Chain A
Amino acid sequence: MLPEIGQLALILALLLAGLQALLPLVGAQRGSEPWMRVARPAAYAQALFVACAFAILVRAFVTHDFSVAYVARNSNSLLPLVYRIAAVWGAHEGSLLLWIGILALWTAAVARFSRALPLPVIARVLGVMGLVSFGFLLFTLLTSDPFARLLPMPSEGADLNPLLQDPGLAMHPPILYSGYVGTTVAFAFAIAALLDGKVDARWVRWSRPWTNVAWALLTTGIALGSWWAYYVLGWGGWWFWDPVENASFMPWLAGTALIHSQAVTEKRGSFRGWTLLLAIAAFSLSLLGTFLVRSGVITSVHAFAADPARGVFILVFLGIVIGGSLLLYALRAPRDDDGAPFAAASRETLILANNLLLTTACAMVLAGTLFPLFADALKLGRYSVGPPYFSLMFGLLMAPLLLLVPFGPLTRWQREQPSVPLKLLVPWLGVALLGGALALVALPGAWWKPAAGITIGFWLLAGTARFVRRRFALAGQRFTAEMAGMSLAHTGLAVFFFGVLLTESLGVQKDVAVMPGHSVEAAGYEFRFDGVERIQGPNYVADHGSISVTRNGAHVADLHPEKRQYLAGGQVMTNTAIDPGLRRDLYVALGEPIDANGGWALRVYVKPWVRCIWLGALMMALGGLVTAFDRRFRRPAEAR
């Protein structure tokens, strides 16, 4: 009975979303206050019904209600409770419901924390968000019903994909989706401004904190996904440039450009049309990601919930939402796009360069992701675009960006003597290059990557530190949360690139066959294989390996990689064992037994500085979050 109530709740939520979209949007056009006032209560009520449906699906998983087809496909009576809850968003239907739930939360948050805004603005913003929610609810109900029954009821479920039975993956989708969906807020504000016709800096000020929070969540979500891939897949890699990853990276690149251009528009009034376009783009790319991952268009090769009916629905939805927004933009975008005039040497120019490089990178990723489809459609043959293309192009685009980052904060708005920031920074650039040169000499075999890592890391770090020192040196200047957030994020960028380049170049990987008692040496560490025993987990049996790591005779760590066989599906999963450290990860994965005498194939990695990749990403995310809490955003809307 409950699943039917869940379905009913979704239908009611759909109707409320329609109401939340229609009345306030029409009301705002006509200036009808009662119609506009519908927005808030409709948003709250919609959130309530969505929460209700979500809770019912969670309950179905917790109580093993295998009469619900989605539960039967993705759960099992042996599955531990925490993964039964995570299984709710383990596949297509449930993850869609999670998406809708998070959108409802964002909508309710906007309704709650935007009391100071003029009524027509909030009515339009909530109306646009209602429209998006309506589309997703309709999609769920028509093509992807999570409450569909399976009759007769199976006595046992098929179990959650073992790859997903992992704490990292339990957390990854909710956070990533929060970021994805959060781009809706900036989009809704942009559309509201276009509908209103007053495309000035106000909408940007209102939407900036929301954009920053969404961007921070997106950053965290991508970092979590990368961390999960690193330790679960057993390949030691942290980024694979596959279409699903690219789908999350494109909105991130557009979002990064957006948070920078929003700062310009808010403070200087420049780039107004451009900021609108980026807000539309970041949201559109989030939708496009959803389309690519779920329609079977790109993933036809890696079939993942491939269903052309879903593809058609999302494409029509994309057409209405994105096409409509861009049409609105074409009709309503400001004709005089310039705010305060600025000289060639100014912070505006630098942020423009930032925006161009980031959007080009985004277009590059989009082109690489869609090229196989394009070639296929034009009968040019079947191509796959791999990491070499992405890594090279991305590197080429990021190099000038990284060179420019420290100059941005130290360059004044509008007009700057180029000699001022140059004098402050060139000595540090010299030191950074010297450090790189030393690395080149000290690590002759490793070629340019560690040198580049050290140069880039030091350059960004020193450049950011120089800015912080200068701000404190100037008497009477406040050091705002916005500046702290920016400095933190730029420091994170330094840490990130340092980690990437050093891990990629100095990592050691060994694939060996070992007998119990034998050792493998990698990067100065001695890995002694002490054999494998059979153990029993809650829903799997495992070969539990023991490896003892020493360095110069001193004990470093005991590692226990496992090879698990899950009982329900029979799938085999490799569970890696990692001894993490800021300076290096020791990483071991079991391969296959090679003979009857206890010998195993073993894969051993030493990954220097790999933690910096995620630490850097988290620092960027935290920076975005800190910026969102700047006092300027809490001042009353009209005061300036």
Chain B
Amino acid sequence: MLRRVLPLLVFLALAALLAAGILLSRNPDREALPSTLIGRPAPAFALPVLTETGTPSNAQLIRNSDLAGRPYVLNVWGSWCVNCREEHPVIAALARSGAVKVVGYDYHEEGPEDAQRWLAQFGNPYAAIAFDPEGRSALDWGIYGAPETYFVDAKGIVRWKHVGPLTEAIVANELMPLVAKSGAVK
């Protein structure tokens, strides 16, 4: 009897897991993480800087204090992330427009070579890139994947978060009004 019921039991376990997945994807935790951060100071971090060549090291760090005083967009990406490729032109256009400083946050990377190859192929739109292969500071930011994008104003307060690839429309309708309000100049 068990042999005949087993497939059903396996499926029910699977269905429970998928239901949990749906709950998680609307879980306040997942969505509210940004809202707990929004309106608060950006989490402190000190991470190695990733450049187009060479190995990032603790000798050259980027801190949120370095970024203070001017608004910036923090774009979380990784060379492994397919949608980052898709959103890359949008980020590049935003950086080119000079409306706001765009800082990269390279997340969950196996090694700097992968990221550098990615930058060489698609171009590097970022003013600077924080390199966080193990996700050291990702927890503080509430980053759970890539791409994710934050807007931090001149006072260092997180004003906005977007999960998933940016599009022209999101930049124009959501991000740019905030940038304009904060009077950002690169």
Contacts and interface: CB of A to CB of B under 8 A. Distances in A.
Interface of A: 158, 161, 163, 233-234, 242, 273, 277, 280-281, 284, 291, 295-298, 300-304, 306, 308, 311-312, 315, 318-319, 322-323, 326-327, 329-330, 333, 370, 373-374, 376-377, 382, 384, 386, 511, 565, 569-572, 574, 589, 591-592, 601, 603
B92 A377 contact: no
B24 interface: yes
Contacts of B83: 302-304
Given A234-B121, A300-B145, A323-B12, A570 B168 contact: yes
A494 to B, nearest CB: 31
B163 A574 contact: no
B4 A315 contact: no
A315 B12 CA distance: 11
Interface string B88-99: 111011000000
Interface of B is mostly: helix
B65 interface: no
23 contacts: A161-B86, A242-B82, A273-B4, A297-B24, A300-B24, A300-B145, A301-B81, A303-B165, A304-B83, A311-B21, A318-B15, A326-B7, A326-B11, A329-B7, A377-B17, A377-B20, A377-B24, A511-B121, A571-B89, A571-B90, A591-B123, A592-B120, A592-B121
Interface residues of B, number: 44
B84 to A, nearest CB: 9
B19 interface: yes
Closest 7 CB pairs of A and B: A303-B164, A301-B145, A297-B21, A326-B8, A377-B20, A571-B89, A592-B123
B88 A601 contact: no
Contacts of B90: 570-571
B18 interface: yes
B160 interface: no
Given A300-B25, A370-B17, A330 B8 contact: yes
A273 B163 CA distance: 45
Nearest to A331: B4
A601 B121 contact: yes
Contacts of A234: 121
A566 to B, nearest CB: 8
Contact of A295 (B22, B168, B169): B22
Interface centre among B7, B30, B88 (most CB of A within 10 A): B7
Nearest to A291: B18
Contact of A572 (B5, B88, B168): B88
A571 B30 CA distance: 29
A589 B117 CA distance: 13
Contact of B22 (A273, A308, A384, A386): A308
Interface in B151-179: 163-165, 168-169
Interface of B: 4-5, 7-8, 11-12, 14-15, 17-22, 24-26, 30, 80-83, 85-86, 88-90, 92-93, 108, 117, 120-124, 144-146, 163-165, 168-169
Nearest to B165: A303
Contacts of A376: 21, 24
Nearest to B164: A303
A277 B3 CA distance: 11
Contact of A591 (B12, B30, B121): B121
B25 A315 contact: no
Contacts of A511: 117, 120-121
A601 B120 contact: yes
Nearest to B6: A330
Contact of A322 (B11, B17, B88, B117): B11
B57 to A, nearest CB: 22
A284 B11 contact: yes
A295 B18 CA distance: 10
Interface centre among A161, A297, A373 (most CB of B within 10 A): A297
B25 A308 contact: yes
Nearest to B113: A511
Interface centre among A301, A311, A374 (most CB of B within 10 A): A301
Nearest to B7: A326
Interface centre among A296, A302, A312, A318 (most CB of B within 10 A): A302
A571 B5 CA distance: 52
A592 to B, nearest CB: 4
A291 B22 CA distance: 11
Contact of B163 (A303, A319, A330): A303
Contacts of B26: 308
Given A301-B146, A382-B144, A386-B80, A374 B17 contact: yes
Nearest to B169: A158
B120 A315 contact: no
Contacts of B85: 233
B25 A311 contact: yes
A315 B121 contact: no
Given A377-B17, A382-B144, A511-B117, 11 more contacts: A233-B85, A277-B7, A295-B18, A300-B30, A302-B83, A312-B22, A315-B19, A330-B8, A333-B4, A376-B21, A569-B168
A201 to B, nearest CB: 19
Contacts of A330: 4-5, 7-8
A311 B22 contact: yes
A571 B87 CA distance: 8
Contacts of A322: 11, 15
Contacts of B81: 301-302
B59 to A, nearest CB: 25
Nearest to B20: A377
Contacts of A242: 82
A574 B7 contact: no
B53 to A, nearest CB: 11
